[in-house]
Structure 1
């Protein structure tokens, strides 16, 4: 009985540790996006995304604005690299199952008095979590 209890406890602890590890890896990927977009670091942004990812963004003249990741990254290549641009990001939630995950983040652009909510779809590809899609909506 005691051995059965210890074995069960061990399995629960291992499962929690693995789940935490996956959660941490997803956070690393989302934080790469947040840092890259806040400090104009295009290489870090690229690292967070799958190379063929699309972003589904808000646009005042379009119902749906689809931007390939290469185009999105180019916006940050035109700015002073490493300089804080006023974007503050915060991960709000992560939901992970096996090799897929969804994450939600809040982006605040204080200088523009704007708040965005980003929803990310991620997939674990060749051992690394990559953002395969991102949708954003403007809150203000």
Structure 2
């Protein structure tokens, strides 16, 4: 009986550690997007995404604005790379099962009095978590 309890405890520990590692890896991918878009780093932004991902964004006078990760990163190309641009991102939630995940983040741009909520779909591809889709909405403050 002691052997069974020990095996059960080891298995539970393994599951807990694996879950922590997966969430950490997902968080790291999301942080690449947040840091890249806060510091005008196109390569960092693109590294967070599957290259064929679709980004469904909010834009004034346009109901649905769809961009690729490359098109999105190009929005930052004329800004000084590495310089903080005022975007503050915060991961609000992560939920995953096996090799898929969803996440939610809040993006604030205080200078422009803007707040966005981003929803992400992620998938583990070749051992690395990538954002495969992103939708964003602007919240009126």
Report the RMSD for the aligned CA atoms in angstroms.
Answer: 0.7
Between 53-62 and 89-98, the greater mean CA deviation after superposition: 53-62
Calculate the TM-score normalised by the size of structure 2. 0.97
Give 1:10's aligned residue.
10
Q: Counterparts of 2:73 and 2:36 in 1: how far apart (Å)? A: 9
Q: How far off is 1:23 after superposition?
A: 0.2
The equivalences for 1:1-140 within 5 A come to 1-140=1-140
Q: How far off is 1:46 after superposition?
A: 0.8
Q: How far off is 1:89 after superposition?
A: 0.3
Between 120-129 and 60-69, the greater mean CA deviation after superposition: 60-69
Q: Counterparts of 1:78 and 1:98 in 2: how far apart (Å)? A: 39
Q: Secondary structure at the match of 1:138?
A: strand
Q: Counterparts of 1:8 and 1:108 in 2: how far apart (Å)? A: 45
Q: Secondary structure at the match of 2:85?
A: coil
Between 56-65 and 127-136, the greater mean CA deviation after superposition: 56-65
Q: Counterparts of 2:74 and 2:112 in 1: how far apart (Å)? A: 21
Q: Counterparts of 1:110 and 1:104 in 2: how far apart (Å)? A: 19
Structure 1 unaligned segments of length 5 or more: list them.
none
Calculate the TM-score normalised by the size of structure 1. 0.98
Deviation string, structure 1 residues 67-111 (Cα, Å, up to 9, x no partner): 111111111111110010000000000001111000100000011
Q: Runs in 1 of length 4+ with deviation above 2 angstroms? A: none
Q: Counterparts of 1:6 and 1:107 in 2: how far apart (Å)? A: 45
Q: Counterparts of 1:19 and 1:123 in 2: how far apart (Å)? A: 15
